[in-house]
Amino acid sequence: MSFHRIILTVNGSTEQVDVPGNMTLLQMLREKLALTGTKNGCAAGECGACTVLMNGEPVNSCMVLAAECNGADIITIEGLARDGQLDVIQKTIIEQGGVQCGFCTPGMLISARALLNRNPHPKEEEIREALVGNLCRCTGYNRIVSAVKAAAEVQ
Amino acid sequence: MINPHPGLPELEYVMPASLDEASKFLIEHTGEAKPFMGGTDCFVRLRDGAWNLKYLVNVKGLDGTNEIRFDPKNGLTIGAAVPMNKIVSHPDINKHYPLLTEAARTVASYQLRSRATIGGNICNASPAGDTIGACIVYGGKLNVHSIKGKRLEPLASFFKGPGKTVLEPGDIVTSISFPLPPPNHVGRYIKLGRNKISDLAIVGVTVLGYPDSNAKSGYTFKIALASVAPVPLVPLKAEQILADKPLNENIISEAAQAAMDSCTPIDDVRSSARYRKYMIRNLTRQALTDVWQKIKK
Amino acid sequence: MTIAPTKDKATTNIGVSKPRVDVREKVTGAAIFTDDVQFGAGLLHARAKRSPYAHALIKRIDISKAKALPGVKVVVTGEDFPNRTGLYLRDRFIFARDRVRFVGEAVAGVAAVSEEIADKAVDLIEVEYEPLPGVHDPVYGASSEAPLVHPDLGSYEWPNFIFPVPGTNISNHFKVRKGDVDSVWEKCAAVVEYTFRVPHVQHVPIEPHVAIAKVDDEGNVTLWASSQSPFAQRNLIAKSLDIPESKIRVIAPLIGGGFGCKAGVTMEAIPVAIALKAKGHPVKFRLTREEEFYTNFVRQGLVAQIKVGCDKDGNLLGLQNTMYWDGGGYTDYGVNITRAGGYSGSGPFDCPNVKVDSLCVYTNHPVGGAYRGFGMSEVHTGIVQAMDMLAEKIGMDRVEFLKKNVVQEGDKILTGMTMHKTGIKECIDKAAQAINWGVKEPNSAPNKLRGKGIAVMWKAPAMPPNAGSSALIKLNEDASVTVMIGGQEIGQGTFTAMAQIAAEALGVPFESVKVKGPIDTQYSPYEWQTVASRLTWSMGNAVRNAALDARRRILDMVAEAWGENVEDLDIKDGYVISYKTEESISLKNIVVYGIPKPNDEGWIGGPVVGSGNFMPTYVTGLDKETGQGERAVVHYTTGAQAVDLEVDLDTGQITILKAVSAFDVGKAINPDLVRAQIEGGFVQGMSSAIFEEMKLVNGHMQNPSFVDYRIATSADVPEKIEAIIVEAPQDDGPFGARGIGEHPMVPTIAALANAIYNATGVRVPHPPLSAEKIYLAMLDAGIVK
């Protein structure tokens, strides 16, 4: 099996990684870069726990080949806070009680951040639509939706 | 027993420099290589063993596969590897082909639409493909690259069965082209899933209508139905009823009934055939009513 | 510093919505779940060879080709592990030995240097089967015609409260006989008789099961597992592999949802078994999402044949409930769900004549295990719908009917236990009021029908009579407090609640209390399992006792140093204060170094550690033939749920306009966390009610992925979900608290089914209440054409 040498930016730092053709971006982040905040919940693009930003757009990292990421700019949950300062959506999800077991939370926050980036003042319906790809079994979602609303008001 | 691999099985990721190179490679490795665009369906099939490939041949970015071009005189061309979200957010598509926007937006989730491509949605040839109906009613034709040269494939004859198309080894769908849309047209895509949004279509109804002085009724309607036959279905009899008879609620119901009668759905894990048939009738009636209310103004 | 002394006991920690203690790490991605623990280059990856048959004899297994594959380190089969295991009934092996009993059962295990190689090796294992006729329905399974799934049932081990019937597929037959049901029906003014079917559903934690085992050269086993039950796992794995408990250490990091499926032992024994043959190497076994769906515990299916009757005034006279639980190929845990379903099988209703038969039936289906509610969602689906039907038949308003018949303090419930104080009537009133019960509201559009439904529930913690908890509390130099517990933070917020209880009992600020994972059986005090909504109550008592113990030690030390009586001292906000002298002293340093005597004459005290435990001692056995006994359970949490919804006449889809839940939690330690449980529980209940079903065809699950096993998304959830807290204190709960983790999803199926009936006049009794079922039922009833 041949390897691809890729150079990419992850959370602002440049990384060089050798990856086999069948390695997904998710596997690369977790296994090569030890960025374990991004979670593997289904490996089929359905649950959203592995959502990261790729060139500013949210993607299921289990649905992207690592080899495709040469030159890409990736932001994971570990890159959401800056210098120890939480992103506003991280603050509001805490305030609204939108975290229980925490396993969906990283992907959920990335999707929420992406929504707020493209639409700073989303309507409730738009928030719910933007989060359908992030399954949560604990919270029942409404507190997460409230957190996005609250973040939109603050930011 | 359904027991997929934990990850993608061993395979090589190939990056040809041109479409010619890609086609050649695909022919040389017939049966063990496929063109690779978004990957959202492909990965699932590789994991569950439905596809057993040695090579994924990247065709993104080759010769316009990533581009959207609109020309007010000739129409629209969307590169096969353009992801759904690019279609949803493209101003020319929103303005001139809003039904494409509406349909593309119903595919799965936002993050999946970052990757899922229109070319993939069509070439997978799922009877449930959400954008196929809009592509059919807008008169889309596929631009296909092969070692013999380029050719056009009309969608009407493209699908041969679930997962089956007229494509031959080495063929690469590079884009889909649409003529200018009919003036003052209105479109509607109603998708019924188990969840409110994000599911695959139990049934999908695409309707496009526009004033047409050549039609006896004064209007032409184009209809495409998803998930109710082995291939995306155009209910010709329903279209004919709407072209021939002066439109009113009863005629719309008659056409909806004709749409229902034209379906040959199956029972599967998502729905019974019986429910599908009734839903085709009810949702076709709903979509036709919505469109008619708007175009008659 | 002096704090104005006052004996005012106004609490600052209980009944207050303190922020979660585990939340920052969860929003930054720093939180460590089991799959995130790093093991370095020696890590091996395991995969399981699984049965493609629902029922078959294993004739031959050939592992030679798999063993020969480069990179493969270990291949094991059932031959290597002869002991049976199981939480209640010891009926299963780690790997199937003579026969397989469900599709997906593990028959062999492989460890290799990569997951890919392990995966390939599994394909190289050859297994020859002789297929057997299967049992795919529990009613058939309980009949004498059915083939036996466990011919050797009679030789298994089980505790004295489980009643298997050897020579049949019935692994537990729990009976309740109260009064005389058989003769009561003719006295009834109305009788309803109906059979309800509840399908298998899956827990769907977003984190799939994962476990890593390592065995050192002295045979010490360490298991890292996504686990609700590290202590139970230590115990069960020890027994199944003949290893003393002292040589097994289970470490349970944070867990990404469990809902019961990570209790007991399922896949966790597999990596341990493999690691025994690969000493020195950690062996990681991670289920794919697809395996998660059908190879682990599922919620059992249920067929419930119910008959209920009342007099002309609506007073319940008779209640009969015969339940056939679809236990699956093994019922090691399921037998106790059947028992719980039995002793709560009347629902929260007071009825003089009750007959319950709860049968756990072996089938060739996936294995049933604990699922949030432990049988109660399934039981209430039938019994509460039957009450709705009976209320209609006697012509009575549902709310009035429920209030007339729900259990009250002092009632002798079906098992003969005397009901304790409960706020169920208040729950009914508040839920009904919140959705404007009795007011017919307009439809939002001509193609919609609107309706309301209400349901009540009860549930007791289901566990052995002597399930115990323990806690340790140690104080640090900076006066911070470390609480050590063995109960798991599973998302419910138990670490936060325990910090509140410890802070309150000890007299220190909440912020100074630290409760952290991982749970580690080597260092954490014993906890039976994180199940049954029992932690707030049981572990809360242990933590409170440990805090009181630490408090006593501190006060003894200060009393001695100050020459005062302990009764005059108190700890407030991290200071010991004297009500007598108005002296105060910070806990800083003294809790570790002690207090110097005057004039350099020595020291008093020493590092402060408090310990505490709790175990219910009052639960009695129940008679095998009648189910009667003084106290069947520790207590019941009760509640009510009401929904207002619309049904779309074109599609059958429902839109829930408002959902209200009211539960009697005794005392809400942290009201916001209680509300979060109630909201999330409602949505899980709603999801299971509308969408979820494991579609089994001859034992094969047709929809083992998120593509076709749909759960509720953000777009499916009603915007208005209201949670109401009712507090009728629990006499032996910490600060009066009892559990609420499971209860919120228990009444949901019945509440929705009742509301759909109210809207359409058509009853869709068997979940999932899918749009398809509702539409076709309306079509068949002529409501739509």
The pLDDT tens digits for A10-56 are 999 999 999 999 999 999 999 999 999 999 999 999 999 999 999 99
A114 touches chain B (CB under 8 A): yes
Q: What is the percentage of chain B residues whose pLDDT exceeds 70?
A: 100
Q: Which residue of chain B is at minimal alpha-carbon distance from A2?
A: B12
Strand residue runs (E) in C113-258: 126-131, 170-178, 190-198, 210-215, 221-225, 248-252
Q: Which pLDDT value is given to residue A155? A: 79
Query: What is the rounded end-to-end Cα distance, in angstroms, of chain A?
Result: 47
In angstroms, the CA C149 to CA C162 distance is 18
One of 3.30.365.10, 3.40.50.1970, 2.70.98.10, 3.40.30.10 is the CATH number of C301-463+621-780, namely 3.30.365.10
Across the interface, do A58 and B56 touch by the CB < 8 Å criterion? no
In angstroms, the CA C287 to CA C211 distance is 9
Instruction: Name, in order, each residue with C-beta under 8 angstroms of C600's C-beta and a sequence gap of 6 or more.
Output: none
- Show which subunits contact A, needing at least 3 CB pairs below 8 angstroms: B, C
- For A:88-127, CB contacts with C below 8 A are 90, 93-94, 97, 99-106, 109, 124, 127
Q: What is the percentage of chain C residues whose pLDDT exceeds 70?
A: 99
8-state DSSP, C412 = B
Residues of chain C found within 8 Å of residue A82, distances taken between Cβ atoms: none
Q: Which pLDDT value is given to residue C3? A: 43
Most C CBs within 10 A among A26, A77, A103, hence the mutation to make, goes to A103
Q: Measure the CA angle with vertex C454, ends C448 and C456; round to 5°.
A: 155
Torsional sign, CA B247, B253, B259, B262: negative
Instruction: Give the other-Cβ count within 10 Å of C398's Cβ.
Output: 23
Across the interface, do A54 and B13 touch by the CB < 8 Å criterion? no
Most A CBs within 10 A among B41, B110, B194, B199, hence the mutation to make, goes to B110
In angstroms, the CA C703 to CA C501 distance is 44
For residue B116, the Cα-to-chain-centroid distance in whole angstroms is 12
Find the mean pLDDT for residues C550-561: 98
Instruction: Write down all domains in chain A, each with its CATH number in brackets.
Output: 3-77 (3.10.20.30), 88-154 (1.10.150.120)
Residues of chain C found within 8 Å of residue B201, distances taken between Cβ atoms: none
Q: What ipTM was reported for this prediction?
A: 0.98
In angstroms, the CA B49 to CA B245 distance is 50
8-state DSSP, C208 = P
- For A:41-80, CB contacts with C below 8 A are 41-44, 46-47, 49, 76-78, 80
Q: Which residues of C121-152 are buried (b: 16+ CB within 10 A; e: fewer)?
A: bbebbebebeebebbbbbbebbeeebeebbee
Alpha-carbon distance values, C652 to A49, B128, B271, C220 (Å): 31, 20, 13, 58
Across the interface, do A132 and C715 touch by the CB < 8 Å criterion? yes
Taking phi over 0 as left and psi of -120 to 50 as alpha, with beta for the rest, A147 belongs to alpha
Q: Which pLDDT value is given to residue C10? A: 57
Select from B47, B58, B109 the Cβ nearest to the Cβ of A44: B47
Indicate the pLDDT class of residue A1, thresholds 50, 70 and 90: confident
Q: Measure the CA angle with vertex B46, ends B40 and B51; round to 5°.
A: 115
Q: Which pLDDT value is given to residue B297? A: 77
- Among residues C533, C530, C583, C527, the alpha carbon closest in space to that of C558 is found at C583
Find the mean pLDDT for residues A121-149: 98
A7 DSSP β-pair partners: A16
C742 part of the active site: yes
Residues of chain A found within 8 Å of residue B112, distances taken between Cβ atoms: 45, 60, 63, 133
| CA-based radius of gyration for chain B | 19
In angstroms, the CA C625 to CA C81 distance is 37
Give me C373's structure tokens: 């509610």
Most B CBs within 10 A among C290, C291, C773, C776, hence the mutation to make, goes to C290
Strand residue runs (E) in C199-342: 210-215, 221-225, 248-252, 283-286, 301-310, 316-328
Q: Which residues of C579-593 are buried (b: 16+ CB within 10 A; e: fewer)?
A: eeeebbbebbebbbe
Note whether C337 and C302 are within 8 A (CB). no
CATH topology of domain B12-58: 3.30.43
In angstroms, the CA C682 to CA C661 distance is 8
B4 touches chain C (CB under 8 A): yes
| Shortest CA gap C446–chain A (Å) | 23
Which residue's structure tokens are 């209400």?
Answer: C454
Most C CBs within 10 A among B40, B192, B269, hence the mutation to make, goes to B269
Residues of chain A found within 8 Å of residue C20, distances taken between Cβ atoms: 94, 97, 99
In angstroms, the CA A32 to CA A69 distance is 14
Q: Measure the CA angle with vertex C370, ends C369 and C375; round to 5°.
A: 100
Strand residue runs (E) in C113-229: 126-131, 170-178, 190-198, 210-215, 221-225
Is it the case that residue C6 has pLDDT exceeding 90?
A: no
Indicate the pLDDT class of residue C4, thresholds 50, 70 and 90: very low
pTM of the model as a whole:
0.97
Strands C72-77 and C106-112: antiparallel
Q: Strand, coil or helix: what is B257?
A: helix
Q: Which residue of chain B is at minimal alpha-carbon distance from A41?
A: B6
What is the tens place of the pLDDT at every residue in B76-103? Answer: 999 999 999 999 999 999 999 999 999 9
Query: What is the rounded end-to-end Cα distance, in angstroms, of chain B?
Result: 55
**What backbone torsions phi and psi does residue C519 show, to the nearest 5 degrees?**
-75, 135
8-state DSSP, C148 = P
Taking phi over 0 as left and psi of -120 to 50 as alpha, with beta for the rest, B149 belongs to left
Same fold, C34-132+209-286 and C301-463+621-780: no
What is the tens place of the pLDDT at every residue in C100-151? Answer: 999 999 999 999 999 999 999 999 999 999 999 999 999 999 999 999 999 9
Strands C721-726 and C700-701: unpaired
Superfamily of domain B186-295: CO dehydrogenase flavoprotein, C-terminal domain (3.30.390.50)
DSSP H or E segment with residue C642: strand C637-648
What is the tens place of the pLDDT at every residue in C730-784? Answer: 999 999 999 999 999 999 999 999 999 999 999 999 999 999 999 999 999 999 9
Is it the case that residue C238 has pLDDT exceeding 70?
A: yes
Annotated domain spans of chain C = 23-31+467-614, 34-132+209-286, 301-463+621-780
Give me B43's structure tokens: 């990965």
Peptide bond into C768 cis (omega under 30): yes
In angstroms, the CA C401 to CA C428 distance is 11
Select from B7, B38, B115 the Cβ nearest to the Cβ of A22: B7
In angstroms, the CA C667 to CA C676 distance is 15
Q: In the Cβ-directed half-sphere of C638, how many Cα atoms lie within 13 Å?
A: 28
CATH, domain range B68-178: 3.30.465.10
The CATH number of domain C34-132+209-286 is 3.90.1170.50: yes
8-state DSSP, C511 = G
Taking phi over 0 as left and psi of -120 to 50 as alpha, with beta for the rest, C486 belongs to alpha
Instruction: Name, in order, each residue with C-beta under 8 angstroms of C232's C-beta and a sequence gap of 6 or more.
Output: C87, C263, C264, C265, C528, C529
Q: What is the percentage of chain C residues whose pLDDT exceeds 90?
A: 98
What is the tens place of the pLDDT at every residue in A51-105? Answer: 999 999 999 999 999 999 999 999 999 999 999 899 999 999 999 999 999 999 9
Q: Which residues of C54-91 are buried (b: 16+ CB within 10 A; e: fewer)?
A: bbbebeebebeebeebeebbbbbbbebbeebbbbbbbb
What is the tens place of the pLDDT at every residue in C279-296? Answer: 999 999 999 999 999 999
Alpha-carbon distance values, C198 to C300, C323, C376, C765 (Å): 8, 11, 11, 9
Note whether B118 and B87 are within 8 A (CB). yes
Annotated domain spans of chain B = 12-58, 68-178, 186-295
Give me B72's structure tokens: 């007010």
Is it the case that residue C419 has pLDDT exceeding 70?
A: yes
Amino acid letter for position A86: L
Is it the case that residue B36 has pLDDT exceeding 50?
A: yes
A29 touches chain B (CB under 8 A): no
- Show which subunits contact B, needing at least 3 CB pairs below 8 angstroms: A, C
Note whether B56 and B33 are within 8 A (CB). yes
Instruction: Give the other-Cβ count within 10 Å of B154's Cβ.
Output: 11
Q: Measure the CA angle with vertex B186, ends B184 and B190; round to 5°.
A: 175
Is it the case that residue C1 has pLDDT exceeding 80?
A: no
In angstroms, the CA B206 to CA B99 distance is 9
Is it the case that residue C7 has pLDDT exceeding 60?
A: no
Note whether C383 and C307 are within 8 A (CB). no
**What backbone torsions phi and psi does residue C691 show, to the nearest 5 degrees?**
-105, -30
Indicate the pLDDT class of residue C2, thresholds 50, 70 and 90: very low
Select from A34, A134, A143 the Cβ nearest to the Cβ of C676: A143
| CA-based radius of gyration for chain C | 27
Q: What is the percentage of chain B residues whose pLDDT exceeds 90?
A: 98
The CATH number of domain C23-31+467-614 is 3.30.70.20: no
Across the interface, do B111 and A129 touch by the CB < 8 Å criterion? no
Instruction: Give the other-Cβ count within 10 Å of C109's Cβ.
Output: 31
In angstroms, the CA B240 to CA B223 distance is 11
| Shortest CA gap C58–chain B (Å) | 17
